[in-house]
Amino acid sequence: MSTAQAQLANAAEWIAAGADPESAAPVLSAAAVIAARHDNALRAATLWAATDHALGRINRADTPGAAKLRNDWLPLARTAAPDSATWEAAWAAGTALSLDEALELAVNSQDQAARPRMVGS
């Protein structure tokens, strides 16, 4: 998984240089799935909302593969959120992010996912 995370971080940095929503959306979506897999439900919510915002800018939907991953992981992430209000706040924050901010969050998500978790943290 660490190789994929590094490649995702590199892609996010490359896309941020061009600020291209069409290329950014799959990267944001993948980062959201990784966040969900690493038990970071609120970061996943923020990244999925940013994905939707990027897709809305170009009038597109998720790719079939990204949609399947979202359908698999979003319900689990939502259940893992502390409560509905916190989830909704994270989602709203993602909607408000600029494309550059969302890609920066995706890159930072990969940095944090690659770090080992401390017991009790």
pLDDT tens by residue, 38-51: 999 999 999 999 99
Report the interhelical angle of 99-114 vs 2-18 (nearest 10°): 160
pLDDT at 90 over 50: yes
CA 48 to chain centre: 5
Q: Write down the pLDDT at residue 110.
A: 58
Residues sharing a CB contact under 8 Å with residue 53, sequence separation 6 or more, in sequence order = 94, 95, 97, 102
Cα separations (Å) of 93 from 43, 51, 64, 65, 106? Answer: 10, 12, 25, 25, 14
- Give me the phi and psi of 70, to 5 degrees please: -65, -45
Q: How confident is the model at residue 24 (pLDDT cuts 50, 70, 90)?
A: confident
Report the interhelical angle of 21-37 vs 2-18 (nearest 10°): 150
Q: Write down the pLDDT at residue 103.
A: 87
pLDDT at 31 over 70: yes
pLDDT at 98 over 80: yes
Q: What angle do CA 81, 86, 88 make, to 5 degrees?
A: 100
Residue 57 CA to residue 48 CA, distance in Å, equals: 14
Enumerate the H helices of 40-98 as residue ranges: 41-57, 64-80, 84-96
Q: Write down the pLDDT at residue 47.
A: 97
